[in-house]
Amino acid sequence: MLKALSFTAKHSYSGIAFTNVKACTIPAAERILSVRNLVTTAYNTVDDNDSKRYHHHHHHHPWKLHQTSLSSVRSSSSSSSSGSDILASFSAQSRNQFEGQNIAGAMEALARADAVCFDVDSTVITEEGIDVLAASLGKGAEVSAWTLKAMEGNTKFEDALAARLAIMKPSRASVDRCLSDHPLQFSPGVETLIESLRLADIDVWLVSGGFRSMIEPIAKQLCIDKANIIANTILYDADGTYAGFDREELTSADMGKPKAVQAVKEKYGYETVIMVGDGATDAQAKPPADAFIGFGGVSVRESVREKACWYVKDFEAMNDVVSKFGKST
């Protein structure tokens, strides 16, 4: 049965608030496209000054720009289905294939979640964005070696980030050219899962050690507000040449993702937050994340697999949990 889309945006894009989009009953792909077109129109109205604000001092961080005073803290959602009930709803064959330290607990947390935070590289998309950028600059092999160290947890993230950027020294023009020549590809099923989360009134965040300038186009396609991105900011000189990176971004250093999750919990009053990702830095996010769902659909990292509450290699089962048991479904 098709599910009607009743979309009410929690944020606005450059003063355009989507609060009166008529509910529709059309195939999922068309629903995504309809809302995506509206958000694309809004993004395209952004003045050039909007992007410049990301290259100044730390008090201009995008996730801080949209702070609002909460009149009340969100109350936790109640669900009539326990994690055991949700797990039991899957076939015996599926249950036998599930992996994780606390699968039922992760399923219950996902169904009751106030927000889900996704890593981007090798999770939302099928590649490591920084490696794609490096390859476009002829520095692929050198940078990939550092990326692997960071993802496996064999070096401090801030050291790997600084080393990779020092090797590449990407200009603003080179980043734009990379995205034009090599559009980043979504992992199969992630668009459907994010739509299901939206329909269940579960907020979606992109929390990444990658670069904001490469992630914003992804967010636009997924209808995710810029305010819901926590990522690193490349700094440029006036002529667009590389000038470093903002070391005060939450995800610029090791243990950045736990800090990011804690920040959004405190800011929005979320009680239940899920972290989804493929790397060691994602696994670090629990706690304060209430569950960590490891993703191995692009790269399987054994250290992550061992720590995950639930380890998945595609998004199908997660989508089933949200669409059938999500708090507003």
Pairing outcome for strands 12-13 and 16-17:
antiparallel
Q: In the 8-state DSSP scheme, what is residue 8?
A: -
Which of 224, 126, 189, 185 is closest to 322 using CA atoms? 189
Using the structure block, give the residue that is written with the tokens 């699968």: 103
CA–CA distance, 151 with 119 (Å, rounded to integer):
12
Q: How many CB atoms lie within 10 A of CB 30?
A: 11
- Among the listed residues 119, 115, 279, 289, the one whose alpha carbon sits nearest the alpha carbon of residue 187: 119
Q: What angle do CA 28, 32, 35 make, to 5 degrees?
A: 135
Phi, psi of 294 (to 5 degrees): -80, 140
Q: How far apart are CA 21 and CA 196, in angstroms?
A: 17
AA letter at 274: I
Q: Are 136 and 178 in contact (CB under 8 A)?
A: yes
Which residues participate in catalysis according to the annotation?
Answer: 119, 121
